[in-house]
Amino acid sequence: YDSAGVATLHNGTIATRKCAGKIVTLEALLEREPLVGKVGIAHTRWATHGAPSPLNAHPHTDCQGNIAVVHNGVIENHQSLRETLQRRGHILRSETDTEIIAHLIEEALEPETRNPKPETEITFLHAVRQAVCQLEGSYAIACLWDGAPGVLVAARHGSPLIVGVGEKEACAGSDLNAVLPITKQLVPLNDDELALVTQTQVRLFDPDGNELPLHLQRMDWEIADEDKGGFPTFMLKEIYEQPDRLRRIIAARCKPPNPPVFDELSMPPSQLIAFRRLIVQAAGTSWHAGLCGKYLFERYLHIPTDAEIASEFRYREPVLEQDTLVIAISQSGETADTLAGIRQARSRFVPVLGFCNVPGSTMTRESDAVLYLHAGPEIGVASTKAYIAQLAHLFLFTLHMARLRWLLSDGDIQNLLNEFCTLPEKMQRVLDEQDVAVWRCARAFLNARYFLYLARGINFPTALEGALKLKEVSYIHASGYPAGEFKHGPIALVDKETPVVCIAPKDSVYEKTLANIEEVRARGGRLIAVTTEGNRDFDNIAEFVFPIPPTHEHLTPLLTVVPLQLLAHHVAAMKGLDVDKPRNLAKSVTVE
């Protein structure tokens, strides 16, 4: 992200290397000034308190440099703790909230350093425990103390933390992708637990310091591929993986002539048929998938559904009745706002069904039931294949529910499933046949100041998603609008330079969308159209047309989004931007 650092403990001394910038900068620093040691902590920072700089980069140390800490999260009472520590004579060097943790551990260890006891590991653990008791906010931390050689203490509250034991090494990390290459024998920590990690073992403790049994689980998830497989970026690789991911979802979920299979779904049919209201809550791209879910649930299940932005849902006073099901959607399963929404629902005895990609993530442990998305590890910050997996699962789950509620016949379900099973091949065709044209389009509009995305119905979320993809990777402003709403204000933005991306498959609202597109054209907007193969309506009016193979109206979002993902990628790549790690963004947003 914006800065990085590492500390090791060797021969009783902690040494750190830190820098602003990405990990390559740290690697170069380590080439020049290597570190040795058998225990270490490292961190990539996404700045919250204090600008990205070597001084603000983690690890942070105490007054004497005897303790080092890395931290993911936000300490909300850091200012008052900082003032108290300063009054007691501590010298704080950075502007971060994290640094205070090192000084709090230093205070807790003070009697010990004067009077060392033999069980230094446990002493260290209790010092960390005393320090974290004073913190408000969220944290996953890993700490070193030069008085406890070969030991790392980790603790969490509200931010993800996983510990694992490998053959000759043990580890703690805040992301499954980081620890899986070391070991698959893992255990995610629960809130307020602490872990004592040495080379050969991990010991778990509750917040009162009592040792807990350690039940390592084998996490059989794919190890994220470090290689881009010949593609220039992970984002493009992941876009191209989408047909294969859909095939895997079909293999796991669709066994014709049977209805979709959800083996892991622990909510019994009797519970699923009783819900009278659905609330989908999620963030970013996952929220866009949730909006598509709203269309599907209302259309096929006749259940009133809201699709809520998690950061709003969590702080409102939503009406949550006993016959409501909250559906939380997340690629990472660690998005702080979505997790808070889950806790809000469960605290009011409303069950939560999680749609999640990452096994073992906090969402999978805190939801009442989970559906795994089978997208595989997603590396690019811009979510692509996880979105496709979310849309696919929302569609299949709708069929499952429609069958339970006797709203679709077996024949109707089979027809819809048969069409669903044609999508991998159709999506592959979009990639094979459209990529070069999209590339030309990207080149033509490289210097546009902003883009507009218009659609109606179930593709309105596609317009939002296309705009989000472009914004986040190319830094060009973009807005997605329902085509019918456009004339109520945003149409004033259109001039002869404005690229307007119209998502207009031949569906039940096509004629209405076309009428709205004419309004844009009359004001000089430059049209880019995504429409159904064989439709000639755009031949003379759009500068670029990206046809998608015909499919069922409610499956079109899985195809229409593909040219938009490519467009965002190509514009950003042509601008020479870091497509996989756009500025200011993090892959999983674990702060609120």
Q: Please give the residue ranges that form the binding site for ligand M6R (CB under 6 A).
A: 283-286, 330-332, 335, 338, 381-383, 468, 472, 585, 588-589
Name which of 40 and 160 has its Cβ closer to ligand M6R. 160
Burial pattern 388-423, b for ≥16 Cβ within 10 A else e, equals bbbbbbbbbbbbbbbbebebbeeeebbebbeebeeb
Q: What's the closest the beta carbon of residue 216 comes to ligand M6R, in angstroms?
A: 25
The interaxial angle of helices 99-114 and 78-87, nearest 10 deg, is: 40
Name which of 333 and 549 has its Cβ closer to ligand M6R. 333
Q: What's the closest the beta carbon of residue 510 comes to ligand M6R, in angstroms?
A: 28
Name which of 195 and 473 has its Cβ closer to ligand M6R. 473
How far, in Å, CA of 410 to CA of 585, rounded?
Answer: 45
Name which of 233 and 338 has its Cβ closer to ligand M6R. 338
Q: What's the closest the beta carbon of residue 282 comes to ligand M6R, in angstroms?
A: 6
Is 505 exposed, middle or buried (CB count within 10 Å of its CB: 0-12, 13-18, 19+)? Answer: buried
Q: What's the closest the beta carbon of residue 531 comes to ligand M6R, in angstroms?
A: 24
Name which of 356 and 509 has its Cβ closer to ligand M6R. 356
Name which of 109 and 283 has its Cβ closer to ligand M6R. 283
Name which of 203 and 575 has its Cβ closer to ligand M6R. 575
Q: Which residue is nearest to ligand M6R (CB)?
A: 284
* Residue 101 DSSP code: H
Q: What's the closest the beta carbon of residue 466 comes to ligand M6R, in angstroms?
A: 11
Name which of 331 and 434 has its Cβ closer to ligand M6R. 331
How far, in Å, CA of 153 to CA of 148, rounded?
Answer: 10
Q: Which two tokens stand for residue 557?
A: 């979002």
How far, in Å, CA of 362 to CA of 157, rounded?
Answer: 11
Name which of 303 and 389 has its Cβ closer to ligand M6R. 389
Q: What's the closest the beta carbon of residue 193 comes to ligand M6R, in angstroms?
A: 23
How far, in Å, CA of 177 to CA of 183, rounded?
Answer: 11
> Is the dihedral angle over the CA atoms 179, 180, 184, 190 positive or is it negative?
positive
| Cα dihedral 20→24→27→33 (10° resolution) | -50
**Nearest in space to 253 (alpha carbons), one of 412, 366, 369, 394:** 394
How far, in Å, CA of 535 to CA of 513, rounded?
Answer: 14
Q: What's the closest the beta carbon of residue 156 comes to ligand M6R, in angstroms?
A: 18
Q: Which two tokens stand for residue 590?
A: 């674990």
Name which of 61 and 560 has its Cβ closer to ligand M6R. 560
Q: Which two tokens stand for residue 508?
A: 């039940």
Q: What's the closest the beta carbon of residue 52 comes to ligand M6R, in angstroms?
A: 19
**Residue 432 dihedral angles phi and psi, to the nearest 5°:** -65, -40
Q: What's the closest the beta carbon of residue 25 comes to ligand M6R, in angstroms?
A: 23
Integer CA distances (angstroms), 370 to 352, 366, 393, 399, 506, in order:
9, 9, 12, 17, 34
Count of Cβ atoms closer than 10 Å to residue 169 Cβ: 15
* Contacts of residue 391, Cβ cutoff 8 Å, sequence gap at least 6: 289, 292, 557, 558
Q: What's the closest the beta carbon of residue 1 comes to ligand M6R, in angstroms?
A: 13
